[in-house]
Chain A
């Protein structure tokens, strides 16, 4: 139960940046075929900087916490920097031991964001 820290549980119950963005410049939708979880990410990018970001969808505590923390992290970040984020960055912000079986849950939001910014 090491992974269900207070922070993770709090983010699950009170996610950050969850909702719908009006007039996004970039958006993407992805699902996790393993569990059927779905996530939609919307961004407003200006001069290669992310000004606003929102996510929506359903998922387990790990995927929801990961989406909250990641969307927080990428605000005001350069899109090129975001494209270079990887697994280790996610594990660092989650700060919990993730088993191989749950890695997909943790990485779903990053993959979705990268997909949204593919042509940014």
Chain B
């Protein structure tokens, strides 16, 4: 399979080896053309104009909502558009209080959360006098499910965790955690930022209350994100941002909010972003999520096999099972920034640093890791080039 040809960035940057898709994915031509066409042919504001252009844009926007919902097996009334995963989580941190049952005052996270699924809850806990608890990680870079059973209890208001670790690539057993939460009548939030393009995400099967992801990690443009919420919850949540489009009527002294999802989407939305996100999902469906998964798995096995042969390498989560398309490692006595800096000389783009997981780095007693992540446009040749690059890094520091 050669998916690389679908992505124009590799024509413009002939020798680019892009191994940072966990940060943001490259965009296929069909998505780029979709954005171009919207502004060329369809641009207008939605839900307002009584003219064909606006009605057409509104229809496309709502149709996209339906298809984006289908992608995760949600109904269109359960999809709210945001800027990204982070905004979706902040949305919930600012509004979830109204649906938390009385007597519950604990929030359970895990030790492997991105700052985005930590900091908003720290503020929430401080402001509302809630306690934060963390499911620890094991020496195998997995969640400690035995500890989770002790940590989640009848006081738990919300369990919020990542589906796939952005540092280790670990695929968490979210079903197990959600079952524990349900037994204790706690709400559940899944951060699907790193899983959505690699794993089949079905909100009905997962049975979570909320699920969030960003478009830009799944081939869509920057600046469009999704918040999925069960209908009954969204109906009972107050909006986090108010303004145009969210109200039935307004007087100088008061306002009356709409009942529909529109109450959550204040101001002019990223209309082109929503429609392009639908196109990126079309692209994924064309390739087939199962094919993507199989292809990336082959790359993961190949890369892990090669990396393990390097002397003086520490691979965090070196196993293949429960492992998505992310590998973190360090070369002994070489700082990740220096590794990334030298690889850049060979046009190899990797991530180096704490990956927005400072407490996790502290726990591992390191300042950061080198992280590579794959997508469909990567090839075994990319891995071979990485290996040559790493060899060079070790030569420089010998």
Contact = CB atoms under 8 A, between A and B. Distances in A.
A9 interface: yes
Contacts of A12: 397
B340 to A, nearest CB: 9
A60 B396 CA distance: 14
B368 A35 contact: yes
Q: How large is the interface on B (under 10, 10 to 19, 20 to 34, 35 or more residues)?
A: 10 to 19
B87 to A, nearest CB: 21
Given A36-B353, A37-B367, A60 B337 contact: yes
A118 interface: no
B352 A35 contact: yes
B345 interface: yes
Contacts of B368: 35-36
A87 interface: no
B361 interface: yes
A62 B342 CA distance: 12
Interface string B355-372: 000100100000110000
B397 A35 contact: no
B56 interface: no
10 contacts: A3-B341, A35-B336, A36-B354, A37-B335, A58-B335, A60-B336, A60-B338, A60-B341, A62-B338, A102-B341
A59 interface: yes
Contacts, number: 46
Contact of B337 (A1, A9, A35): A35
Contacts of B354: 35-36
Contacts of A1: 342, 345, 396
Interface residues of A, number: 17
Contacts of B337: 35, 60, 62, 102, 105
A59 B352 CA distance: 12
Given A4-B396, A9-B396, A36-B358, 10 more contacts: A1-B345, A4-B338, A4-B342, A35-B353, A35-B354, A35-B368, A60-B335, A60-B336, A60-B338, A102-B337
A102 B345 CA distance: 14
Interface in B315-346: 335-338, 341-342, 345
A107 B354 CA distance: 19
A12 B339 CA distance: 14
Nearest to B358: A36
Nearest to B369: A36
Interface string A1-43: 1011000010010000000000000000000001111100000
A105 B352 CA distance: 13
A62 B338 CA distance: 8
A45 interface: no
Contacts of A59: 335, 367
A61 interface: yes
Interface string A73-104: 00000000000000000000000000000100
Q: Which 7 A-B pairs have the closest CB atoms?
A: A60-B335, A60-B337, A36-B354, A36-B367, A35-B353, A61-B338, A60-B338
A35 B341 contact: no
Interface string B176-192: 00000000000000000
Nearest to A101: B341
A9 B367 CA distance: 19
Nearest to B345: A1
A1 B358 CA distance: 28
Given A9-B396, A35-B336, A35-B353, A58 B341 contact: no
B336 to A, nearest CB: 7
Contacts of B396: 1, 4, 9
Given A4-B338, A105-B337, A35 B367 contact: yes
